[in-house]
Structure 1
Amino acid sequence: MKNILITGCSSGFGFDAAKHFAQKGHQVYATMRNVAGSNADKAKALEQFAEEGGYSLKVVELDVLSDESVKNAIAQVEDVDVLINNAGRGFGGPIEAFTSQQILDQLDLNIVGTARVSTAVLPKMRAKKSGLIIQVSSTAGRAAFPGFGVYHASKWGLEGMSEAMRYELAPLGIDVVLVEPGPFATNFFGAMVNAEDQEVAEAYAHVGEFFGGFESQVKGLFEDANAPTDPQIVVDIFEKLIEMPAGERPMRTIAGLDFGFQALNDATEPIRKAGLAGMGIDAWDGPQG
C-alpha cells in the first residue's frame, strides 16, 4: 500500500486515477480546488465512492496556483510515496492574441503549479530517500501545432524542468518521470481558455481553421471504439510506473495517439543518455535500484 497524492481530481485522469488506486488498496489523497464550491459535486462523488466501497480516499482542497493552499493541503496528508502532478489546463489561440497576463497564467498553472506541489512533498521524500513523482505532460510537450503555442510553452517547459529534476533527485533516491498523453476523451477542449483579443485572433483565420479541424478530428476519434482514447489507458500507465522498481522507470512514456512522436522519443533517447554520459552523470538517470 502506498500513499498517493493526485492533483486535479475534479475530472479526467485525476478523477479516474483516484478511484482506481483507492480500489487497489492504496491511501489516496484526491486533491482539487473549490471543494466546497464549483467542484463540490465531484468531491462528493469521490467521498461517496470511498464510503460505499470502504476505500482509503480523502478529498483535500488544493489549488496549485496558491503557495498557501498547497502548504495547507500537504499539512493534512501523511508521507507521500507517489505524487501525480496531473492538474492543468490548455490555452488555445494565436500567440499574438494572448495578453502577457494570460501567458503567465498558463505557465503558472502548468509549470509553477507542479513545482509548488513537488517542493511541498520533497522534504519528506528526501528524508526517507524514496519517492516517485509522475509529471503529466502531453505529446504537445514534444512538438508544436498552430493555435497551441502558449500551451506548448507550458508543456515544453514542464518537460525541461522535469528532466532536470530527475537528475537532481535520483542520487537522493527519488524518481521523476513524464507521461505524455495524446488526445483523450476528457473535457480538455471544453475547458480550454481562449485568447483574450479576439479581434487579433480574427486576423489568423488559417489558424482558426486548422484548430477547428483538428478539434473535430480528435472528437471524432473519441467516437471510434478502436481508437486509444479511453482515459483508463493513462491510469494504467500510472500504475505500471508505480509498480516498476526504482531505476527501471523510463524518462518518458507516451500514452494513446502519439501522432508519430514515439519515433521522436525513440530517436532522442540515445542522445539524451549520451549527453549524460558525456557529463559524467549517467548514474543520475533515475535512482539506483
Structure 2
Amino acid sequence: MTVNATLPVALHANNLESYIHSVNQMPMLTQEEEVSLADKLQKHNDVEAARQLVLSHLRVVVSIARSYSGYGLQQADLIQEGNIGLMKAVKRFDPNRGVRLFSFAVHWIKAEIHEFILKNWRLVRVATTKSQRKLFFNLRSMKTGFSALTPKEANDIAEQLGVKPEEVLEMEMRLNGQDISIEPLETDHEDAVAPIAYLADDENEPTKQLENRAVALLQGEGLMSALDKLDPRSRHIVESRWLSDDSGATLHELAAEYGVSAERIRQIEVKALQKMKQELVLLAS
C-alpha cells in the first residue's frame, strides 16, 4: 500500500506526542513499493514519490532521535534535524543496490542529529575532529559510573575506540565542564561577579577608541589648525601663556612686551581662546 495520506500534525515542541502518534500511523512500504517509488524519483524527479518515501520513514527518525535524549536538547529539534537527514537519504537512495531505504537512511539521519548536537549542546564546540566525535557520542555509555575515569578505564576505552588515552580524558573533562554566563544572571546575588566584569577591556572598547582618536586629533592637528586661525599677536599670547615649555608668561610680562595693560592682554587671551574653541568644535563634529 502506498502512502497517500498527508501528515496531519506539524512538528512543534508543544504537540510532540500528537506528531509521534501521527507518524506511527503511517504504513510502511513493501520492498516492491519502495523500489517503484525510488525509481520514479530517480528517473522522473517525481515529487509525490519522494513525499511517500519520506512519510513512510518518519517513524524511523523518531526512534533514532529518542536515543539522543540525554543531551538536554528539545526532542522536537532532534526529530526535525533527523527529518532533514531522511530527506537527504531519499534523494540519494538507489534501490538497485539491494539495500532497503531504512538501512540506507540511518547514516544520514544520525549524521544530521550528530551535527545539530555538536553545534548546540554547548556554546563552545566540544568535538571537531572525527576521533573527538566518536568519543563524544560513545564515552557516556561506556563509562561504568559517575566518578572520574581511572587510568585503566581510560586506556580500555581508548583501545576500544581506537584513540589515545589522553583524548579520552580530555573529552571527559569537556563533557563534565559547565557553560558560564558571561553576564550576571537574575538569580545571582548582589555581590556576584560575572566574567564580563574582569574580561572587558575598557581601553579597547570601540567608543573609547574613537574618543581617544578624537582627543589625539584635537591635541595635535586640531590645536595647530585652531592656532592658525589667530592673528600673530593673539597666537603669541596663547602660546606664551599655555603652550610654553616653561611655566608660562604672566599677563604683566606680556603687557610690558606689547606696551599695553595686563587687562588688555587678558581680553585678547579670552577672545583668542573662544575662537580656538569654536574651531575645535567644528573639527570634532
Structure with the larger helix share: 2
Higher relative contact order (CA 8 A, sep 6+): 1
Q: Which has the larger radius of gyration?
A: 2
Q: TM-score scaled by structure 1?
A: 0.21
Structure with the larger strand share: 1
